[in-house]
Structure 1
Amino acid sequence: MRLFPMFDAKSLAEENQKAHEELLAAKEKAEQQAAGAQMRLDAAYAKGFDTYLSPFATQFARLRNVELSDLPTITAVPELRAMDVKLRDVGFKAVDGLAALAGGTAAGAAAGGLTFAAVGALAAASTGTAISALSGAAATSATLAWLGGGSLAAGGLGVAGGTAVLAGVVAAPAVLLAYGFLWWKGEAAYQEQVKAQQELEVAKSEMTVQVAKVDAAVKRIRDTARVVRALGACGRPRLKKLTALIDTNDDYATYTPAQRALVAELAGVAQAMAAVIACPIIDEDGRVTAMSDRTFTAANRLADRLAA
C-alpha cells in the first residue's frame, strides 16, 4: 500500500501529461510534413497540366490526318507497358479528351491552350463531387480521371484523411485535466492515472503506425511531384520542336518517320504524365497504393531515359 498515494498520483499525472504533449508534437510534425508535400504536389500537377499537357493537346489538335490512336506511343515510350493497363488507358483517354476540347475550343486554342479552370468546369469527379468543390492536386487528378473515363479516386485526397486519423489518436484522457482533484482522491486518483497511462501507451502505438503511413505517403507524394516536374522538363523542349514543325506543316500524312516519331514520343510522355496525375497515391486507409508503385516506377524510368 502506498504511503502517499496523492504524491504518486501527481507524479504519474505529470508523466502522463508529458507523454500526451509528445503525442501532440508528433501529430503536428506529421501534419506539417503532409501539408508541405501536398503543396508541392499541387504545384507540380498544376505546372504539368498548364505547361505540358494542355500545350501538347493544343498543338496535337492542330494536326491534320491523324488521330491519337494512330500513334505508336507504346513503341515510342516503352515504359508505358509497365503501367497498370486500366490507368494507362485513362491516361490515353485523358490526353485524347484534352485534344478534342482544344480542337473544339477556338478561343482556348487561340489563347495558347486550355486552362485547367476551363476543363474543370466541364468535369465532375467520379464520386459525383463537382470538380469546383475540389482544389489543388485533388482537382487535377479528378479532372484527368474524368477525361479518361475512369473512376479513380483523386490522388491527393488521401493525405488529408491520413493526417485526420492522428487527431483521434491524441485525444487526451479526461483525467489529465483533473489535476485539482488529485489531492482529494488519494488512491483512486493514482489508479485513474495508471489507467490514463495505459491509454496513452495504446495511443503511442497507434500514433507510431499512423505516422509511418503518413511518412510513406509524404515520400511517395514528393517523388510523384518530382517525376511530374521531370517529365515536363523533358517534354517542353521537344514540344517546341513540334510546335515549330506544325507552324510550317500541319499535315501529319506528309511527315517523315523521324517527325512522326517525335509526335508519338510527345504523345507518350503526355499519356504517362496524365496517368501519373490521375493515379490514386493513397488508399482509404492512408496506405500508398500498389498502382502508385508501378506508375511511379515506370514514369521515373521514362524521365531518367529522356534526361540522359
Structure 2
Amino acid sequence: MGLLEPLTHKEEIENLLNEAQTTYDQSKDKFESQKKKTTKSLEKLGKVKVKAWSDGMNSFVDNFKAFNNIEVVQTVDTNMNFIGSDEEPKEIIVNMEQASLTATEVAKVGAAAIGTGALVGIASYGGAMMFGAASTGTAIAALSGAAKTNATLAWFGGGAKAAGGLGIVGGKVVLAGLVVAPVIAIAAVIGSSKAKEKLAEAKKINAEAKDAAAKMDVMTTGMNGIEKMSDNYSNFIQKLNKKFKPFIREMERIRGAHPMPSGEQIDFNTLTNVEQKTLHLSWLMAQIYYHVLSTPIMTSKGEVSSDAGKVLSVADKEYKQFRKDTYKMSGDDAKAADLLWRSSANNMTVLGFAQVVIFIVCAIALGTGIVSKIIFIGGAVIAFPIFFKFRDMPASKLYTWRKVRCISALAFVVMMHILMGV
C-alpha cells in the first residue's frame, strides 16, 4: 500500500458521502414540501365535503322529502346516464340523508375540533359510507383512525404500486427510517484507519442514499398526483355547489307556497308544470353531486383509487350534458332551467357593462381622432347588454345573446380600426 493511498481513499470517501448526503437532502426537502402541500389540499377537500354534505345536500334532502309521488326515475327531457346508475333512487335518497345528517353533526363540532387527521380521512374516504356512523364521536374516531394509518402511509408510499408508487409497505419503510440511517455515520467512516473497508462502506452508503432518494422521488410524484386530484375534486364540488344553491332555494319557495299540516307531504301532482320540472332538475343535479361526494380518493388499503379520476371525468361530462339539455328547453320548462342559467346570464351582463365603460373611456380619454372615437362609441352601443325587446327571453338565450354582443363589439372595434387605418 502506497503512502498516499489512505489520503486518497479519505478524499474519495468524503466525496461519496457528501454526494450521498446532498442527494438525500434534496429529495427529502422536495418530499417534505410535497407532503405539506398534499396534506393541505386534502384538508381543504375534507372541509369542502363536510360543507357540501351538511349544507347543500342536507337542505336538498330536507326539502325533497316534503313531496310525495315524485317520479324520481324520470329524466325530464334528458338522455343522461348517471354514475352509479345501479343504485335505486330510494337507496340514493337514504344514503344522502344518512351522510348529510352525520356531516351536519361533524360541522357543528367544527374543523378545528375534529383536527387535520379527520379532515384528511373525510377527503380520502369520506362519502355516504364513511358518514354512515351513528354518532359524531364514532364518525370522528373512524375518520381519525383511517387518517393515522392507511391514509398517512399512502402519502409516504406515493400511492398504489400499480400507479407507480411504493404502496403502504414503502411508506412504512420511510417512516421507520430504515433506508436512510447509514447516511449519518459520515464522521465515523472517515476517521477509520482501514481505508479500503471504509471505502467499500462509503460506496454502499452512497448507493443506499441514492436508492432512498429515488424512493422518495417516487413518493413525491405520487403525492403530487394525490394533491392534483384532491384540488380537482374541491374545485368541481365548489362549482357544482354554486349551481345547486338556486335549485334548493326554489325548492324551499315551492314548499312554502304549498303549506301542509305537520307530518304531511305535498302531492307532486298538485304542483304546476314549472314546479314539477324544477323538482326533476333538482333531483338530476343532486345525483351528480351525490356521486362525486361519495367517491373515495383512496381505497381502504390506503392506495389511490383508480376510479376517482374516472368518476370526476364522467361527472363533468354529465354536468355539461345537463347544461346542454336545459339550454334546449322552451316554454315552462325553460323557466325551470333559468335556475341554472340565470347566474351565467347575469355574469355576461356585468361583462357587457364593463365593456361599455371601457369603450366610452377609450373614446373620451384617449387622444385619438374623431373616427376612432366614433368606432369606440359604436362598440359601446353594440356591447350594451340590456335590450328590452327580448327581456322575457329564457336566461340561457339571454346568456348567449349577451355573449354574442360582447364578442361582436370587440370584433367591430378591432376590425373598424384596421379597415379605417386609425
Q: How far apart are 1:52 and its partner, in Å?
A: 0.8
Q: Is the 8 A contact 1:144 1:278 kept in 2?
A: yes
Q: Is the 8 A contact 1:91 1:144 kept in 2?
A: no
- Cα deviation 1:226-253 (Å, max 9, x = unaligned): 1111111101012111110110123312
The match for 1:218 is 227
Q: Distance in 1 between matches of 2:34 and 2:89?
A: 32
- Cα deviation 1:242-279 (Å, max 9, x = unaligned): 11011012331212333222112212222222211221
Q: 1:74-89, aligned counterparts within 5 Å?
A: 74-75=75-76, 78-79=79-80, 81-85=81-85, 89=87
Q: Distance in 1 between matches of 2:209 and 2:89?
A: 46
TM-score (norm 2): 0.56
RMSD, aligned α-carbons = 3.6
Q: Is the 8 A contact 2:55 2:104 kept in 1?
A: no
Are 1:55 and 2:59 an aligned pair?
yes
Q: How far apart are 1:5 and its partner, in Å?
A: 1.0
TM-score (norm 1): 0.75
Opposite residue 38 of structure 1, the aligned amino acid is L
Work out which of the residue numbers 115, 132, 153 in structure 2 matches 1:161. Answer: 153
| Structure 1 gaps, min length 5 | 103-112, 121-130
Q: 1:50–1:90: structure 2 CA closer, same or farther, 3 Å change rule?
A: farther
Q: 1:23-172, aligned counterparts within 5 Å?
A: 23-63=27-67, 65-66=68-69, 70-72=71-73, 74-75=75-76, 78-79=79-80, 81-85=81-85, 89=87, 93-99=91-97, 114=101, 116-118=103-105, 135-136=118-119, 138-139=121-122, 142=126, 144-145=128-129, 159-165=151-157, 166=171, 168-169=173-174, 171=177
Q: Distance in 1 between matches of 2:34 and 2:88?
A: 32
The match for 1:201 is 210
Work out which of the residue numbers 290, 296, 301 in structure 1 matches 2:312. Answer: 296
Q: 1:38–1:252: structure 2 CA closer, same or farther, 3 Å change rule?
A: same
Q: 1:233-272, aligned counterparts within 5 Å?
A: 233-249=242-258, 250-272=266-288
Q: How far apart are 1:195 and its partner, in Å?
A: 0.7
The match for 2:191 is 183
Q: Is the 8 A contact 2:9 2:195 kept in 1?
A: yes
Opposite residue 34 of structure 2, the aligned amino acid is A
- Cα deviation 1:258-307 (Å, max 9, x = unaligned): 32221122122222222112212234676643322231012223445356
Q: Is the 8 A contact 1:276 1:295 kept in 2?
A: yes
Q: Is the 8 A contact 1:119 1:143 kept in 2?
A: no
Q: 1:45–1:146: structure 2 CA closer, same or farther, 3 Å change rule?
A: closer
Q: Distance in 2 between matches of 1:90 and 1:205?
A: 47
Q: Distance in 2 between matches of 1:91 and 1:216?
A: 33
Q: Distance in 2 between matches of 1:207 and 1:179?
A: 21
Q: Distance in 1 between matches of 2:26 and 2:153?
A: 22
Q: Distance in 2 between matches of 1:76 and 1:118?
A: 37
Q: Is the 8 A contact 1:16 1:176 kept in 2?
A: yes
Opposite residue 219 of structure 1, the aligned amino acid is K
What is the DSSP-based 3-state SS (H/G/I as helix, E as strand, rest coil) of the residue aligned with 2:128?
helix
Q: Distance in 2 between matches of 1:233 and 1:145?
A: 25
Q: 1:201–1:136: structure 2 CA closer, same or farther, 3 Å change rule?
A: same
The match for 2:238 is 229
Q: Distance in 2 between matches of 1:291 and 1:186?
A: 55
Q: 1:45–1:257: structure 2 CA closer, same or farther, 3 Å change rule?
A: same
Q: 1:139–1:280: structure 2 CA closer, same or farther, 3 Å change rule?
A: closer
Larger Rg computed on CA atoms: 2
Q: 1:78–1:187: structure 2 CA closer, same or farther, 3 Å change rule?
A: farther
Q: Is the 8 A contact 2:127 2:293 kept in 1?
A: no
The match for 1:277 is 293
- The share of aligned pairs that are identical, in percent, is 16
| Structure 2 gaps, min length 5 | 108-113, 134-141, 158-170, 259-265, 324-339, 345-422
Q: 1:228–1:246: structure 2 CA closer, same or farther, 3 Å change rule?
A: same
Q: Is the 8 A contact 1:9 1:189 kept in 2?
A: yes
Q: How far apart are 1:95 and its partner, in Å?
A: 2.9
Q: Is the 8 A contact 2:20 2:206 kept in 1?
A: yes
Q: Is the 8 A contact 1:217 1:282 kept in 2?
A: no
Q: How far apart are 1:160 and its partner, in Å?
A: 2.7
